[in-house]
């Protein structure tokens, strides 16, 4: 059971490094789907608000003290500003520093460098430190094996730095995310559960099952291998054998047989993880993050098992205090 201490949170929001006064509420969404984490902040208008908000860009950092521990929940920049002069409030919305990569265009192709070298280079270009697991294959080798697209995506002359980073994560089988001023690039893994969740820990708990996925999934990847001049087809399925199984086809250019087989298996793994989803609300903490594993137990149902956290939405308000809503997807399931 979460202790009462977890409810006693002290929130500080820094706007261009200066504390933002009279914060009314904030919400913060973190997820693992290769996008930017987002924030939404409401505060009372002050006499000097116009001066403080006239500076562009507006940087934001949300800090919290919980149970004597201090943590930075997000570092980012404001994308949108809304002022309510009658109600005397202002609203700031924005994203973490992933936005720097999303807004930056490039025409580089990086043929003679490894993926990890490219990630570090792009991270430094945007003022971020890179926490990277090294890779050894030159990106040029992927080009030579006809594994990539011209100019990285569909004959485009320019693409965003984030598109390049997510493409590198795809070909290496890595995960990619930004935390504060650090860009992370590491192999995906299913680590052991680090936290157990029971109904008594939660304000509410909901267990969801996708019956269309439970009926079975078949993934077929189709391509054309330019090097061998042959069509490539690779299929993987969840083994249910049901005539109502979901059948999906993925078409990608320039994949050799081994890469098509890997893509089919990865797509099947991702799809079947969405068969069982749990969602719950609980007092806010500083522990729960996307990518971590948790073990659901003692529900009295067959949903008990291991899940990967996919989304964490934290919110704070003067009325409700500090709470969080968590969504997690099943890691593996045995019928």
CATH number of 4-94: 2.30.300.10
pLDDT at residue 49 is higher than 60: yes
The whole-number average pLDDT for the span 258-271 is 86
Would you say domain 101-187 falls under CATH 3.55.50?
Answer: yes
pLDDT at residue 152 is higher than 60: no
Between 255 and 189, the higher pLDDT residue: 255
Would you say domain 195-210+275-330 falls under CATH 2.40.30.150?
Answer: yes
Place 141 in a pLDDT band, splitting at 50, 70 and 90: low
Distance, in Å, from the CA atom of 259 to the CA atom of 101, rounded to the nearest integer, reads 27
Helix and strand numbers (H, E) in the chain are 7, 21
Output the pLDDT for position 241.
Answer: 67
Determine contact, residues 210/330, Cβ cutoff 8 Å. Answer: no
pLDDT at residue 149 is higher than 50: no
Distance, in Å, from the CA atom of 274 to the CA atom of 30, rounded to the nearest integer, reads 18
Place 140 in a pLDDT band, splitting at 50, 70 and 90: low
How do residues 190-246 score in pLDDT, each as one tens digit? Answer: 777 788 999 999 999 999 999 888 888 999 999 988 878 889 999 998 876 677 788
pLDDT at residue 151 is higher than 50: no
Output the pLDDT for position 271.
Answer: 85
How do residues 272-305 score in pLDDT, each as one tens digit? Answer: 888 999 999 999 999 899 999 999 999 999 999 9
Domain boundaries, the chain: 4-94, 101-187, 195-210+275-330, 214-272
Distance, in Å, from the CA atom of 274 to the CA atom of 250, rounded to the nearest integer, reads 18
Q: Which residues pair with 29 in a beta bridge?
A: 38, 313
Helix (H, G, I), strand (E, B) or coil at 222: strand
Output the pLDDT for position 7.
Answer: 56
pLDDT at residue 147 is higher than 80: no
pLDDT at residue 176 is higher than 80: yes
Tell me how far CA of residue 201 lies from CA of 2, 282, 301, 330, in angstroms: 6, 7, 17, 19
């Amino acid at each position: 059971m979460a202790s009462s201490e977890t409810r006693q949170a002290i929130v500080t929001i820094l706007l261009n490094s200066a504390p933002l006064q009279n914060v009314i509420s904030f919400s913060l969404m973190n997820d693992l789907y290769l996008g930017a984490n987002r924030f939404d902040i409401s505060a009372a208008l002050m006499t000097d608000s116009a001066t403080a908000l006239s500076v562009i860009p507006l940087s934001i950092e949300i800090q919290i003290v919980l149970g004597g521990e201090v943590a930075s929940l997000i570092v980012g920049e404001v994308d949108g500003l809304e002022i309510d002069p009658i109600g005397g409030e202002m609203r700031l919305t924005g994203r973490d520093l992933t936005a720097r990569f999303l807004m930056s265009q490039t025409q580089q192709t990086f043929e003679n460098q490894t993926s990890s070298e490219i990630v570090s280079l792009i991270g430094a270009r945007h003022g971020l430190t890179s926490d990277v697991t090294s890779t050894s294959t030159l990106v040029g080798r992927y080009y030579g094996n006809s594994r990539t697209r011209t100019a990285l995506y569909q004959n485009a002359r320019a693409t965003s730095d984030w598109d390049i980073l997510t493409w590198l994560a795809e070909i290496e089988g890595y995960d990619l995310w930004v935390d504060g001023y650090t860009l992370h690039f590491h192999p995906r893994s299913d680590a052991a559960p680090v936290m157990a969740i029971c109904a008594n820990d939660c304000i509410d708990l909901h267990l969801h099952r996708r019956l269309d996925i439970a009926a079975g999934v078949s993934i077929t990847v189709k391509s054309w291998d330019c090097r061998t001049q042959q069509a490539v087809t690779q299929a993987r399925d969840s083994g249910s054998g049901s005539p109502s199984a979901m059948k999906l086809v993925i078409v990608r250019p320039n994949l050799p047989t081994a890469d098509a087989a890997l893509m089919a298996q990865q797509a099947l793994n991702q799809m079947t993880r969405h068969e069982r989803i749990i969602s719950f609300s609980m007092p806010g903490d500083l522990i729960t993050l996307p990518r971590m594993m948790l073990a659901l137990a003692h529900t009295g149902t067959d949903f008990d098992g291991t899940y990967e956290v996919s989304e964490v939405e934290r919110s704070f308000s003067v009325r409700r205090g500090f709470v969080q809503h968590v969504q997690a997807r099943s890691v593996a399931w045995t019928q």
